[in-house]
């Protein structure tokens, strides 16, 4: 300790104050800024991913709700007793094979599905090809029939210029005779795109509906090289998935800039205080040294007489 004190005494007061300022002020604040920047950066990424998870969760709920509504419509369509009865009579009795019965079946279909904007086309085909349909636009029935796959459920159907999403199922009309009909519902992808756009919760988010092979049915996604976060969630009982992709964002430097500005203000304030303290010591000390030098120049004579000292 004594050696350290002797070492310090060899250094000028001004340098001692400067070193103390650097050690007690500059270095701790610099370390604090570095730690703060690292913590804020890590928190920023974690917080960003947490927000993206919430956006994806909300989007999945909205998309699943839409498909649940479509499934309920399809279920009500295939279990409607009026349709089943009229179709059974139409198939088994020539007396009921009239335009009036056909129109009644189609009107019942329209009353069920017309309130669902996403449904563009609905048809029920007998095995012999006899159709009963509801459509919002002119559609080539035979072309649709020829493009239908043997697969049932939900799948992507190429039709015309605008591909569609298809929901199809074979339904027993009469269990005793084995009479069946094929129910087909086509979903308008433009309407589906609009729903997906409305489900987006951030400008950094894109939503796509993909099939079992990973192909995009509706919506869009970001390039893999730009992705920060991605989550794919199955849509219940459809074989389809909701794919949420989120793009990388630039780190917000506002917090770091604020910290640096505070550091500069503290640095300036501390430097000013150190300067004032240094001056408060230096000025009286210089005056004292000046007086001592003047006394030496006047050849001070000290005379000692008994126990007194006379100048």
pLDDT at 77: 92
Q: What is the pLDDT of residue 302?
A: 47
Span 191-239, pLDDT tens digits: 888 888 888 887 888 999 988 888 888 888 888 777 778 888 998 888 8
Q: Which of 33-42, 182-191, 242-251 has the lowest mean pLDDT?
A: 33-42
Cα torsion angle, 229, 235, 238, 244, sign: negative
All structural domains of the chain with their residue ranges:
73-188
Token pair 């027993």 is at which residue? 172
CA distance 179 to 195: 37
Instruction: Write the CA distances from 121 to 35, 141, 148, integer angstroms.
Output: 61, 10, 13
* Among the listed residues 35, 44, 26, the one whose alpha carbon sits nearest the alpha carbon of residue 254: 44
In DSSP notation, 29-47 reads HHHHHHHHHHHHHHHHHHH
Q: Which residue has the tokens 């890590």?
A: 42
Which two three-digit tokens encode residue 274? 């150190």
Query: Radius of gyration (Cα) for the chain, nearest Å?
Result: 43
pLDDT in tens, 46-98: 667 778 888 888 888 988 898 898 999 999 999 999 999 999 999 988 899 99
Task: Compute the mean pLDDT over every residue in the chain, rounded to the nearest whole number.
Answer: 78
* Per-residue pLDDT at 266 exceeds 90: no
Q: Is residue 207 a contact partner of residue 243, using CB atoms and an 8 Å limit?
A: yes
Asked if the model's pLDDT at residue 300 lies above 70, the reply is no
* Residue of 46 and 28 predicted with greater confidence: 28
Sequence-separated (6 or more) residues with CB below 8 Å from residue 100: none
Neighbours of 88 (CB within 10 A): 16
Q: How many CB atoms lie within 10 A of CB 102?
A: 17
Helices (H), the chain: 2-9, 13-21, 27-79, 81-92, 99-113, 141-147, 189-199, 254-297
Predicted pLDDT at 201: 81
On whether the 73-188 domain is CATH 3.30.420, my answer is: no
Sign of CA pseudo-dihedral 5, 8, 13, 14: negative
Residues 6+ apart with CB under 8 A from 145: 125, 129, 131
Asked if residue 143 has pLDDT above 60, the reply is yes
Q: What is the DSSP string of 185-226?
A: EEE-HHHHHHHHHHH--STTEEEEEE-TTS-EEEE----GGG
119-145 average pLDDT score = 83
Alpha-carbon distance of 166 to 42, in angstroms, equals 45
Model pLDDT for residues 159-171, shown as the tens digit of each residue: 666 677 888 999 9
Angle between helices 254-297 and 13-21 (to 10 degrees): 170
More reliable by pLDDT, 136 or 162: 136
């Amino acid at each position: 300790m004594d050696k350290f004190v002797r070492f310090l005494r060899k250094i000028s007061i001004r340098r001692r104050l400067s070193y103390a300022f650097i050690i007690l002020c500059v270095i701790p604040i610099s370390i604090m800024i570095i730690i703060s920047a690292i913590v804020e950066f890590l928190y920023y990424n974690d917080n960003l991913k947490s927000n993206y998870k919430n956006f994806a969760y909300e989007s999945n709920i909205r998309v699943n709700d839409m498909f649940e509504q479509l499934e309920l419509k399809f279920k009500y369509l295939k279990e409607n007793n009026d349709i089943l009865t009229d179709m059974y009579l139409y198939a088994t009795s020539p007396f009921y094979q009239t335009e009036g019965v056909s129109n009644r079946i189609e009107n019942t279909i329209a009353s069920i599905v017309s309130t669902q904007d996403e449904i563009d086309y609905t048809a029920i085909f007998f095995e012999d090809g006899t159709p009963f349909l509801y459509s919002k636009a002119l559609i080539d029935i035979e072309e649709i029939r020829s493009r239908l796959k043997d697969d049932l459920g939900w799948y992507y159907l190429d039709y015309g210029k605008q591909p569609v999403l298809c929901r199809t199922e074979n339904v027993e009309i009469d269990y005793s005779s084995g009479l069946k009909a094929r129910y087909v519902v086509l979903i308008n992808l433009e309407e589906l795109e609009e729903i997906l756009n409305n489900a987006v919760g951030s400008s950094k988010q894109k939503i796509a509906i993909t099939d079992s092979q990973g192909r995009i049915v509706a919506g869009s996604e970001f390039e893999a090289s730009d992705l920060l976060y991605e989550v794919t969630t199955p849509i219940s009982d459809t074989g389809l998935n909701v794919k949420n992709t989120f793009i990388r964002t630039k780190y917000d430097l506002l917090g770091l800039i604020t910290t640096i500005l505070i550091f500069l203000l503290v640095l300036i304030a501390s430097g000013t205080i150190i300067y004032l303290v240094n001056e408060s010591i230096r000025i009286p000390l210089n005056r004292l040294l000046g007086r001592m030098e003047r006394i030496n120049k006047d050849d001070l004579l000290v005379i000692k007489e008994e126990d007194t000292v006379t100048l």
